[in-house]
Structure 1
Amino acid sequence: MTARAAPPHRPTAAPRTLLAPLAGAAAALLLAGCVPVQTARPSPDRTDVTGVAIGDRAVAEGGDLVMALSAEPDRLDPTTSSSLYTRYVMQTVCEKLYDIDAEGDLVPMLAAELPRVSDDGLTVTIPVRTDPVFADGTPFDAGAVVTTLERHLALEGSSRRTELGPVTDVSAPDDSTVVITYETPFSPLTAALADRAGMVMSPTALDELGEDFGDAPVCVGPMKFTERVPQTSITVERDPLYYAADEVHLDSITYRIMTDANIRAANLRSGDVQVADSLSPQDVDALVQEDGIGLLQTGSFGYQAVTFNVGNTDGAGQPPGRIDTPLATDPRVREAFSLAVDREALVDSVFNDWYEPACSFLSPDSAYATEASSACPPHDPARARELLAEAGVEVPYRIEVQVSNTADSLRLLQALQASVRDGGFDVVVRPVEYSTLLDVQTRGDFEAVQLGWSGRVDPHGNSASFLSTGGSNNYAGWSNPEADDLVTRAAQETDPAVRAQLYGRLVEVVQAEDPLVYLYRVRSLTGYTEDVAGIETYADGVVRLGRAAFLADGGE
């Protein structure tokens, strides 16, 4: 349930259960080699607040809302994008066939209703709306959906191909019906279409722009793309052609890039921005005590992890190659690293206990969680050293970890350095600008990288493209036949209980070889000034601003 604000106070928190379902810091921070001292403090209130509703309060029509964005989005192309921050922007300009709501349920958006699946699971029929119009005036219909899905499946470098499963054909028998045919059943389709795979692009714009679509995206949304100033801002404005234009209040939204969490917080305090994502757990307790500032917070379907390059020699999605290092070739080295990590201490000391330890791609709050998927390797540095001795490597074993150059990420790596030292590891930290780090990860130009995934409502979206041989997001270059089989079987299975068992076994296979070592699961901490409402953030990590508005009374 979305929490409703009761002025002049902060919004009333509403509990929610997850259903099926991080500016550079000083170099001294990295070199100190000690875990931040933990002081006594109360545990944070983790009650979910997923939105601040307008309710019956009067709104001031118009205005430019400014959101402080913690990293620069990659290209605004639904087919190739891999950044959470791109999803923030695209959420307002490029609606999807489906979405999730505050409870994590899948709901129609540009689709007219949930898909109809044939008895054999091979034919999926999606009724679509015919009232929307693209921002360039092109009518929205089933043919446009087909054009988008075919691009996702065929474009070189597509990040959506794995998400859509073993499609054999996509067609539009009429303007309001899309039919997708499968080689084998594919249960995660609806969830995939509630993310970038379901963002429908204007066929006219695709014809004109081709692979340059991301420079000037045209879709259906409450806003339309206006301008991008690299490394500075992205601006969108109200689309008068939007089918629900009467529900849109703002004239424009400017996403201003502010990578330093302290700067985001300062701009929120001053009122220069009205919304700020990814507040630092180091700051949030004090910030939300200030008059006029509220906090949205929710758990996450996703994770943060260290990914080891075990075979990514030609880029993610390509056949794995051989990397001749103990880290890449010997699972005992990677298992030792996992055992050396004290996950509880990391989230407590670095993130003030706002975040939660994570040991797999599957949240314990998911309806697909099992004892196997929630099992966590113990913190056992003695056993870690034994495994390194068995692997015959020199101790301390040196690993270079590339990481985003934000203060929280660097603080994490400092603590991680200390955490794994007793287990026989020497972690060398290499800070990299976030968008560059995404490219490094894709190319395979790393030994280890610390990044995360914002999460999807269906476990397939958190596992298949990362863990399948040749998966579009398989940055580790890992290949395991049993994992491939489990991913495929789980996608084909329609019984949720059986799917849960398969994902539990997949977690066991991954933890046996550790191409990724999962560390923690964030809470989405979004600050806002209380003169705005209609802001929402759900467990997919995306802040939704399409229906946001300034309050006529300034929030009084």
Structure 2
Amino acid sequence: MNRTLFQLSGISILALGLAVASQAQAQTTVDVAMIGEPDTFDPMVSTKDVVSIVTQHFVETLFTFDENWATVPLLAAAMPDVSDDGLTYVIPIREGVTFHDGSSMDAADVVGSLERWLKVASRGKSVAAYVDSVEASGDYEVTLRLNQPYAPLLSLLAFSNSAAVVYPEEILDDRIEDVVGTGPYEIADYVPDQYIQLVRFDGYTQPGGAAERKQIPDEIRFVPVADPNTRAEGLLSGQFDFADSLSTESYDRLEASDVAEPLMLEPFGWPVFAMNRNKGMMTDIEIRRAVQAALPFDDMLYAAFGDEKFYQVDGALFPEGWVWNNDGGVELYNQNDIEAASKHLEEAGYDGTPLRILTSRQYEFHYQMALVAEMALEASGFEVEMDVVDWATLAERRNNPDLWDIYITHSPFLPEPALISSFSAKALEGWDEPAKNEIYTRFITETDPAVRKEIFKELQTELYEDVGFIKVGNFNSLQGKSRAMEGVAPSPWPQFWNASVAE
């Protein structure tokens, strides 16, 4: 009988211990609700935000951005030594950095990774023609030699999107299935459509300075939740500590909640109607001008966001207060002119072929803008075919120019205009037009900041005149977090290595 009592007491003690351990684990776990899940853990080959948000926690680049968008070292030991002619970059590499497989990083890993980035990444391809060589000039030193100055190079090397991340040279291939990084967290478990579990990498070596990653949570769990209302409800109930990309209707409830609070990134970025310049009707400039003339951006933004505190009707590619802000071409913005659009269609000899708009409801504001656009385009004389799919399917279909004429996406405001991938002739849109290419080449090879500003105004003007892509306006991004969470700031790509959740 005493032994039975002892056993029962032992079970009780064990259960209590497990409960305490479980509670402790819950206190060091950050649960994040996202619009979907990455289709790859290799950020070199993707420009999707859902990929960048997750992968930045376990793979790293030579440089990164601080809170003011200044470039700072991450895997590099210091900023590069750049030759006076802007053609040679000597980059010191940090010693003692360990990959998740236990191997040590050196210059050979960096060289191999950069060579792969130039070959397979869309942003890497955009700079590849300017790079003559990448070589190890020491065990912990890499030298890049260019054939022309390339002003955006460091911004490209710092960006987490289509990222120049560093892998062990042994795993480098056109496709990498099992990603091995140097980041503060590593993948512990992945259950498709349920969660991605990251755990602290105990062998992490801190970069220090503005790039510090404190590794506060033991675990970060990313959960795909397609519906924005479900993400908000999960946040309000305490199921999630953070929720990304919430609908504006959630703002008041979050603000009134004792559990959660809204995070507003203002201004965040701009919705984009990307035009298929590779195939189909959008190769005709009169058709593109018809679309540009027809779209009522005031109505589209109101339908998408509902309250002017969430958006601005603004045609400049960068908002007021940014160094790149200018008025080039903006007289062609927000024409909302059905008659002018119809004349462009008549000039094009439009034959009634359906205009195919590819969009998704996982970003609900994309879909709401598409509905208003559909009505205006039909009033102008277009036949419109809406293809509404989930975001993963959209990301797949946009790779095939046979399947769409316009797809709807968005971009945050970025510190360097060359990071806007749509300007590149190699982007999915295929804006490969001689006048634009000439301006763009001058822009990226000019190193004088004042001259670059003037050239960018030319580029923005050409965007409107040739209808390279269509900016709808500015919008503010709504995210939400637990009121008990600290260490996470509003960001296009929120980071959770410094996050803490109070009891």
| Bin of the TM-score, shorter chain as denominator length | 0.7 to 0.9
Q: Distance in 1 between matches of 2:429 and 2:167?
A: 34
- 1:420-435 aligned within 5 A: 420-435=377-392
1:44-97 Cα deviation digits (max 9, x unpaired): xxxxxxxxxxxxxxx999622110011222311122112111000012111222
Within-5 A mapping of 1:99-248 = 99-155=64-120, 160-163=124-127, 166-196=130-160, 199-203=164-168, 206-207=171-172, 210-213=173-176, 215-244=177-206, 247-248=214-215
The aligned counterpart of 1:543 is 494
Q: Counterpart in 1 of 2:7?
A: none
Matching residue's letter, 1:275: F
Structure 1 pair 522–234 and aligned structure 2 pair: CA distance change class (3 A): farther
Q: State the shift of 1:206 in Å.
A: 1.5
Equivalent residue in structure 1 for 2:486, among 525, 529, 533:
533
Residue 308 (structure 1) aligns with: 275
How far does residue 409 in structure 1 lie from its aligned partner after superposition?
2.7
CA distance in 1: counterparts of 2:240 and 2:283, whole angstroms: 48
State the distance in 2 between where 1:104 and 1:519 align. 24
Higher helix share: 2
Instruction: Give the distance between the partners of 1:277 and 1:374, measured in 2 at CA.
Output: 31
1:276-320 CA-partner distances (Å, limit 9, x unpaired): 0001112223322211212222245743222222325xxxxxxxx
1:351 aligns with 2:305: yes
CA drift at 1:525: 1.9
User: Which of 247, 264, 273 pairs up with 1:297?
Assistant: 264
Note if 1:82 corresponds to 2:44: no
What is the CA-CA distance between 1:179 and the residue it aligns to?
Answer: 1.1
SS in structure 2 of the partner of residue 76 of structure 1: coil
Deviations 1:158-182 (A, max 9, x none): 5532156611101121233221110
AA in 2 matched with 1:201: V
Alpha-carbon separation, structure 1, partners of 2:159 and 2:215: 22
TM-score between both structures, scaled by the size of structure 1: 0.78
Does the residue aligned with 1:225 lie in a helix, a strand or coil? Answer: strand
> Among 396, 400, 409, which residue is 1:451 paired with?
409
Deviation, 1:528, is 0.4
CA contact (8 A) 1:91 1:546 kept: no
The aligned counterpart of 1:501 is 454
SS, match of residue 160 in structure 1: helix
1:513 match:
466
Aligned length: 469
One-letter code of the match for 1:418? M
CA contact (8 A) 2:190 2:196 kept: yes
User: What is the letter of the counterpart of residue 523 of structure 1?
Assistant: N
The alpha-carbon distance between structure 1 residues 357 and 205, as it changes in their structure 2 partners (threshold 3 A), is farther
Pairwise CA distance, 1:488: 1.2
CA deviation after TM superposition for structure 1 residue 263, in Å: 0.5
- Whether 2:211 is the aligned partner of 1:260: answer no
1:270 alignment counterpart: 237
Give the distance between the partners of 1:382 and 1:168, measured in 2 at CA. Answer: 51
Deviations 1:13-37 (A, max 9, x none): xxxxxxxxxxxxxxxxxxxxxxxxx
Task: Please name the residue that 1:63 is paired with.
Answer: 28
Structure 1 residues 496 and 299, CA gap change in structure 2 (3 angstroms)? farther
1:6 aligns with none
| Superposition deviation, residue 346 in structure 1 | 1.7
Cα contact 2:264–2:479 (8 A) shared by 1: yes
Quote the Cα distance in structure 2 between the aligned partners of 1:281 and 1:398. Answer: 32
User: Per-residue deviation at 1:527?
Assistant: 0.5
User: What letter is aligned with 1:372?
Assistant: G
SS across alignment from 2:298? helix
Query: 2:222 aligned with 1:284, yes or no?
Result: no
Alignment check: 8 A CA contact 1:68 1:258 kept: yes
Shift of 1:500: 1.5
Describe the shift of the 1:362–1:508 C-alpha distance in structure 2 as closer, same or farther (beyond 3 A): same
Q: Is the 8 A contact 2:60 2:182 kept in 1?
A: yes
> 1:72 & 1:358 partners in 2: Cα distance?
32
Q: Quick one: structure 1 residues 383 and 81, their matched pair in 2 at CA, closer, same or farther if it must change by over 3 Å?
A: same
Relative distance call for 1:259 and 1:358 in structure 2 (3 A) is farther
Cα distance, 1:302–1:114 mapped onto 2, change above 3 Å = farther
| Mapped contact 1:188–1:491 kept (Cα < 8 A) | yes
Structure 1 position 510, deviation (Å): 2.1
Aligned pair in 2 of structure 1 residues 286, 164: CA closer, same or farther (>3 Å)? farther
Query: How big is each residue's C-alpha offset from its partner over 1:422-458, in whole Å with a ceiling of 9 and x where there is no partner?
Result: 4333433111121121121122121221123345321
State the match for 2:396 in structure 1. Answer: 439
Contact 2:237 2:259 in 1 (8 A): no
The answer to whether the 8 Å contact 2:316/2:328 transfers is: no
Q: Which has the larger radius of gyration?
A: 2
Q: Residues of 1 paired with 2:480 and 2:346: CA distance?
A: 48
The verdict on how the C-alpha distance between 1:101 and 1:508 changes in structure 2, with shifts beyond 3 A counting, is same
Contact 1:373–1:503 (Cα < 8 Å) also in 2: no
Q: In structure 2, what is the Cα distance between the partners aligned to 1:301 and 1:163?
A: 26
Structure-2 change in CA distance of 1:154 and 1:385 (3 Å): closer
Structure 2 length-normalised TM = 0.86
Question: C-alpha displacement at 1:515, in angstroms?
Answer: 3.5
Residue range with higher mean Cα deviation, 526-535 or 367-376: 367-376
Q: Which has the higher contact order (CA 8 A, sep 6+)?
A: 1
What secondary structure is seen at the aligned counterpart in 2 of 1:283?
helix
Question: Structure 1 unaligned runs (5+)?
Answer: 1-58, 313-322
Please list every run of 5 or more consecutive structure 2 residues that lacks an aligned counterpart in the other structure: 1-23, 207-211
CA distance in 2, matches of 1:294, 1:430: 34
Tell whether the 8 Å contact from 1:364 to 1:374 is kept in structure 2 after alignment. no
